[in-house]
Structure 1
Amino acid sequence: MDLSLNADQVAILDSLESLTRPYAGVSLHETGFSLTDGALDRELQQGGFLDVASDPDLGMVTAAIVVERLARLPQATRAALASIIAPILKLNTQTPFCIVAGDQLQRPLRFLGAGATVVVVTDTVSSFTATASQVRAEPDALYGYPVGTLVEMPSDREEHDVGSDVFMTHWRIALAAESAGLLAAALDSVCAYTAQRHQFGRPLASFQGMRHRLAEAKVRTNGVYWLAIRAGATLNPADAALAAFHAQESARQVVYDLHQFMGGMGMTLEHPLHLWTYRLKLLASEMGGRGNNALAAARSIWG
């Protein structure tokens, strides 16, 4: 299996690097709980980076690669939902949308607000446009995304001609690809800090116990990335469920270690680690969490 990027993927990532460089270099001193940038979202849309999955020469693998790279930015973007899920529902990628599994209410949903499209996944896939009376704003939520809470679910919804199994496969790929980028960015941030921070006359990163745990975090991060890429290539429900499960399980273990290595920073706002780890915490609870994805993988593999 050839794991190297093809010429088109290299060119896309080079263009993406040029576009996002000014946003990656933004000042991160006390940015608050979440960071978004409408100009970044517009540039990604206008540049066609969110449409690569619809190109038969690029496909879902390239979309997953783009999502992973964008997730490394400190800004939370709608790239995962817009590039991987919107095409199968034929949704307008310029309109924010969010996903709720089942008829769950009183649960924080990323990118939910008045006017957003809410996709409801049960035995079927349906959607509706949220009104102000159906949404409770959560301006002080600690999730790293702009979130809202759905307080009312209308029964009159538009039905989509997409099976729930197909939808869940795409949702899991999107979650795994975004988680891989978040883990990579958080780990890079911690490695840079522990290489500079000295204790007992040595950099923290030089202590063997810490190096072992950083290495394990790197192995897990790489695993999440490659499982996401495999699921994007095969579109197999079992591959997607395994990728989502490993992403959520890795987030649970790695995020704990990363905050511990920072001595608690990242739980507070003087360091930007929270911009990645708090997003991971919300992603780790989607679709019922890692337990549900583990069960989905087992059922897909063994029936």
Structure 2
Amino acid sequence: MDLSLNEDQRAILDALDGLCRPYQDAPLHDAPLTAISEKLDAEIAEAGFLDVAADPDLGTVSAAVIVERLARLPYATEAAASAFFRPLLGEVEGPICIVDRARTPRMLRYLVPGATVLVVEDSRVSVFTASQDQLRAEPDALLGYPVASLLEIPDERQVCDIAPIEARTRWQAAIAAETAGLLAAALASTVSHVSEREQFGRKLATFQALRHRLAEAQVLTNGTYWLSMKAAATLDPADAAMAASYAQEAARSCSYDFHQFLGAMGMTLEHPLHMWTYRLKALVGELGGRKANAARAADALWGAAS
């Protein structure tokens, strides 16, 4: 399978990079726990980047490429769910949030009044528009995203023409693509720090043990990227579940290492690392986490084998 970018995808990335250039620098002066930009969100939507999957010549691979690149920014943007699900939902208002009906607690990223909430169950997928009395904002949650708790799933919901297995497959592919971008940005931030910081008269980056672990982090980051692209290309349940499980394990192990490499600096808001690792922390638990997604991958593979 050739997953290299085609000419259209390279052009899309060039345009996206141009739009995002003013937002590359982390907003450290105010030390926000969650960095968001309504202007950036509006510009991304208005430029049509979240609608590329609706074009059959671009599809979900292009959506994954966009999600991965946007995740590298220090600003959290609601791109993953929109890029993967808008083509299936048609015209929707506000950000898209996804909830697994079978799992609690239900703390959802980007949940605000007016958000479109996609409810995934074993037998069906449905949707409703969130109201103020159905949610509670969680401003103190250290997850790097604006989050709120969903207090109620109303009985009256619109049933979607989406099979639950397809919804979970797209969800897993989106998780993997976003994780790949976050890992790439966090790794780059860490490498920049250890290349400048000195201990015992040497740059930290010259210590062999640290270099070995950074190399392993690079392998995990690359693996997450390619598995996410494969999952987006095939939309196969086994591919998507494996991509999500691998991404969540990579996020868990790499985040620990990145903060350890930065020492005390990694525990402060003076360094931007938390803007990516806090988001990784949130994604580690999506859809039941790495063990649940690994079990789904096994079930999909054994089912295909039988």
Structure-1-length-normalised TM-score: 0.96
In 1, distance between residues paired with 2:251 and 2:295? Answer: 18
- Specify the alignment match of 1:141 in structure 2: 141
In 2, distance between residues paired with 1:54 and 1:115? Answer: 23
State the shift of 1:36 in Å.
Answer: 0.7
In 2, distance between residues paired with 1:268 and 1:130? Answer: 35
Deviates more, 1:22-31 or 1:181-190: 22-31
- Specify the alignment match of 1:102 in structure 2: 101
- Specify the alignment match of 1:150 in structure 2: 150
**Are 1:131 and 2:131 matched, yes or no?**
yes
**Are 1:24 and 2:36 matched, yes or no?**
no
State the shift of 1:104 in Å.
Answer: 4.0
CA deviation map 1:189-228 (0-9, x unaligned) = 0000000000011110110000000000000000000001
3-state SS of 2:263 partner? coil
- Specify the alignment match of 1:68 in structure 2: 68
CA deviation map 1:22-66 (0-9, x unaligned) = 011353334311111111111111111111111111111111111
Deviates more, 1:127-136 or 1:237-246: 127-136
- 4+ runs deviating over 6 angstroms: none
- Specify the alignment match of 1:118 in structure 2: 117
Matches within 5 A, 1:147-186: 147-186=147-186
Deviates more, 1:144-153 or 1:266-275: 266-275
State the shift of 1:105 in Å.
Answer: 4.7
In 1, distance between residues paired with 2:62 and 2:152? Answer: 37
What is the one-letter code of the residue matched to 1:299?
A: D
State the shift of 1:237 in Å.
Answer: 0.7
The alpha-carbon distance between structure 1 residues 141 and 211, as it changes in their structure 2 partners (threshold 3 A), is same
Q: Is the 8 A contact 2:176 2:247 kept in 1?
A: yes
In 1, distance between residues paired with 2:29 and 2:193? Answer: 15
What count of residue pairs does the alignment treat as equivalent?
A: 302
- Specify the alignment match of 2:35 in structure 1: 35
Deviates more, 1:215-224 or 1:148-157: 148-157
- Specify the alignment match of 1:243 in structure 2: 243
What is the one-letter code of the residue matched to 1:115?
A: G
Q: Is the 8 A contact 2:94 2:116 kept in 1?
A: yes
What is the one-letter code of the residue matched to 2:101?
A: G
3-state SS of 1:33 partner? coil
In 2, distance between residues paired with 1:44 and 1:209? Answer: 41
In 1, distance between residues paired with 2:170 and 2:90? Answer: 14
Structure-2-length-normalised TM-score: 0.95
What is the one-letter code of the residue matched to 2:220?
A: R
3-state SS of 1:262 partner? helix
In 1, distance between residues paired with 2:54 and 2:116? Answer: 20
State the shift of 1:103 in Å.
Answer: 4.7
3-state SS of 1:229 partner? helix
The alpha-carbon distance between structure 1 residues 20 and 136, as it changes in their structure 2 partners (threshold 3 A), is same
- Structure 2 gap ranges (5+): none
In 2, distance between residues paired with 1:108 and 1:2? Answer: 37
What is the one-letter code of the residue matched to 2:235?
A: L
In 2, distance between residues paired with 1:255 and 1:264? Answer: 15
What is the one-letter code of the residue matched to 1:70?
A: L
In 1, distance between residues paired with 2:104 and 2:177? Answer: 26
- Specify the alignment match of 1:50 in structure 2: 50
* CA RMSD in angstroms, aligned pairs only: 1.3
